[in-house]
């Protein structure tokens, strides 16, 4: 589908997306736990 030039770039973008998703999940978890502690 893609020229060889873009394959590495797309793979890199996918890695970045995965990392940012993991990062978002971690932050969301931290916010939720903080809100739970603050609510008590």
pLDDT score for 5: 83
Contact 27, 19 (CB under 8 A): no
- Domain extent, residue 2, equals 1-35
Q: Tens digit of pLDDT for each residue in 3-38?
A: 888 999 999 999 999 999 999 999 999 999 999 988
pLDDT score for 30: 95
Residue 6 domain flag: yes
Instruction: Give the predicted TM-score (pTM) of the model.
Output: 0.56
Residue 13 domain flag: yes
pLDDT score for 2: 65
pLDDT score for 34: 92
Residue 40 domain flag: no
Tally the domains of the chain: 1
CA distance 13 to 29: 24
pLDDT score for 38: 84
Could you tell me which residues come within 8 angstroms of residue 10 by beta carbon, excluding any fewer than 6 positions away? 2
Residue 28 domain flag: yes
């Amino acid at each position: 589908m893609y020229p060889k030039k873009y394959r590495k770039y797309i793979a890199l973008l996918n890695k970045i997306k995965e990392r940012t998703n993991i990062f978002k999940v971690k932050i969301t978890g931290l916010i939720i736990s903080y809100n739970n502690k603050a609510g008590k």
